[in-house]
Structure 1
Amino acid sequence: MQTHFTEQDLEQPHLREADRVLRTCVHCGFCNATCPTYRLLGDERDGPRGRIYLMKALLEDRDQSADITAETRLHLDRCLTCRNCETTCPSGVEYHKLLDIGRAELERRLPRKAPERAFRFALRKALVEPGRFKALLKLGLTFRPLVPGALKAKMPPAPVDAGTRPDGRRHARQMLILEGCVQPGLSPNTNAATARVLDRLGIGLTPAPEAGCCGAVDFHLDAQDAGRARARANIDAWWPHIEAGCEAIVQTASGCGAFVKEYVDILADDPDYADKAARVSELARDLVEVLRDEDLDRLEVKSEGRLAFHCPCTLQHAQKLGGATEAVLTRLGFSLTPVQNPHLCCGSAGTYSVTQPELATRLRDDKLDALEAGEPDVIATANIGCQTHLGSAGRTPVRHWIELVDEVLA
Structure 2
Amino acid sequence: MQTTLSEQARQLPRAEEAESILRTCVHCGFCNATCPTYQLLGDELDGPRGRIYLIKQVLEGNEVTQKTQQHLDRCLSCRNCETTCPSGVDYHNLLDIGRAVVDAAVPRSIDQRLLREGLRGVVPNPRLFKALVSSGQVFRALLPTALQAKLPRRVYPAKPRPVTRHARQVLMLEGCVQPSLSPNTNAATARVLDRLGISVTATREAGCCGAVDYHLDAQAAGLDRARRNIDAWWPSIENGAEAIVQTASGCGAFIKDYGHLLSADPAYAEKAKKVSALAKDLVEVLRDEPLEKLGVHSDQRLAFHCPCTLQHAQKLGGAVEAILMRLGFNLTPVPDSHLCCGSAGTYSVTQPVLSRQLRDNKLNALESGHPDVIVTANIGCQSHLDGAGRTPVRHWIELVEAALP
CA distance in structure 2 between the partners assigned to 1:281 and 1:329 by the alignment: 26
Q: Identify if the C-alpha distance between structure 1 residues 379 and 188 changes in structure 2 by more than 3 Å, giving closer, same or farther.
A: same
Query: CA offsets, 1:224-244, max 9 Å, x none?
Result: 111001000100000000000
Which residue in the other structure is 1:77 paired with?
73
Task: Name which of 258, 272, 279 aligns with 1:284.
Answer: 279
Which residue in the other structure is 1:93 paired with?
89
Q: Identify if the C-alpha distance between structure 1 residues 143 and 53 changes in structure 2 by more than 3 Å, giving closer, same or farther.
A: same
1:238 aligns with 2:206: no
Cα offset, 1:275, TM superposition: 0.6
- Structure 1, gaps ≥5 residues long: none
Residue 374 of structure 2: SS of its match in structure 1?
strand
Cα offset, 1:148, TM superposition: 4.5
CA distance in structure 1 between the partners assigned to 2:303 and 2:9 by the alignment: 49
CA distance in structure 1 between the partners assigned to 2:8 and 2:211 by the alignment: 31
Residue 170 of structure 1: SS of its match in structure 2?
coil
1:319 aligns with 2:314: yes
CA distance in structure 2 between the partners assigned to 1:105 and 1:7 by the alignment: 14
Which residue in the other structure is 2:137 paired with?
141
Kept in 2, the 8 Å contact 1:150–1:354? The answer is no
Query: CA offsets, 1:259-316, max 9 Å, x none?
Result: 0001011111111111100000000000000000101111101111210000000000
1:386 aligns with 2:381: yes
The code of the aligned residue for 1:78 comes to R
Task: Name which of 330, 334, 337 aligns with 2:332.
Answer: 337
The code of the aligned residue for 2:156 comes to V
Cα offset, 1:152, TM superposition: 2.7
Kept in 2, the 8 Å contact 1:9–1:16? The answer is no
Cα offset, 1:69, TM superposition: 2.5
1:191 aligns with 2:186: yes
Q: Give the count of matched residue pairs.
A: 405
- Structure 2, gaps ≥5 residues long: none
Residue 72 of structure 1: SS of its match in structure 2?
helix
1:338-357 map, 5 Å: 338-357=333-352
Which residue in the other structure is 1:212 paired with?
207
Task: Name which of 165, 170, 175 aligns with 2:165.
Answer: 170
Kept in 2, the 8 Å contact 1:151–1:354? The answer is no
Kept in 1, the 8 Å contact 2:153–2:386? The answer is no
Residue 308 of structure 1: SS of its match in structure 2?
strand
Residue 399 of structure 1: SS of its match in structure 2?
strand
The code of the aligned residue for 1:126 comes to V
Which residue in the other structure is 1:151 paired with?
147
CA distance in structure 2 between the partners assigned to 1:177 and 1:232 by the alignment: 16
Residue 154 of structure 1: SS of its match in structure 2?
coil
Q: Identify if the C-alpha distance between structure 1 residues 117 and 149 changes in structure 2 by more than 3 Å, giving closer, same or farther.
A: farther
TM-score by length of 1: 0.97
Kept in 2, the 8 Å contact 1:211–1:237? The answer is yes
Which residue in the other structure is 2:298 paired with?
303
Kept in 1, the 8 Å contact 2:46–2:75? The answer is yes
CA distance in structure 2 between the partners assigned to 1:282 and 1:338 by the alignment: 33
Which residue in the other structure is 1:115 paired with?
111
Residue 175 of structure 1: SS of its match in structure 2?
strand
1:53 aligns with 2:53: yes
CA distance in structure 1 between the partners assigned to 2:204 and 2:363 by the alignment: 36
CA distance in structure 2 between the partners assigned to 1:7 and 1:230 by the alignment: 31
Kept in 1, the 8 Å contact 2:5–2:60? The answer is yes
CA distance in structure 2 between the partners assigned to 1:273 and 1:146 by the alignment: 48
Task: Name which of 109, 124, 132 aligns with 2:120.
Answer: 124
Residue 176 of structure 1: SS of its match in structure 2?
strand
Residue 325 of structure 1: SS of its match in structure 2?
helix
CA distance in structure 2 between the partners assigned to 1:9 and 1:347 by the alignment: 32
CA distance in structure 1 between the partners assigned to 2:7 and 2:58 by the alignment: 17
CA distance in structure 2 between the partners assigned to 1:166 and 1:401 by the alignment: 20
Which residue in the other structure is 2:396 paired with?
401
Q: What percent of counterpart residues are identical? A: 68
1:38 aligns with 2:38: yes
Kept in 1, the 8 Å contact 2:137–2:151? The answer is yes
CA distance in structure 1 between the partners assigned to 2:17 and 2:266 by the alignment: 18
The code of the aligned residue for 2:133 comes to L
The code of the aligned residue for 2:13 comes to P
The code of the aligned residue for 2:88 comes to G
Kept in 2, the 8 Å contact 1:150–1:357? The answer is no
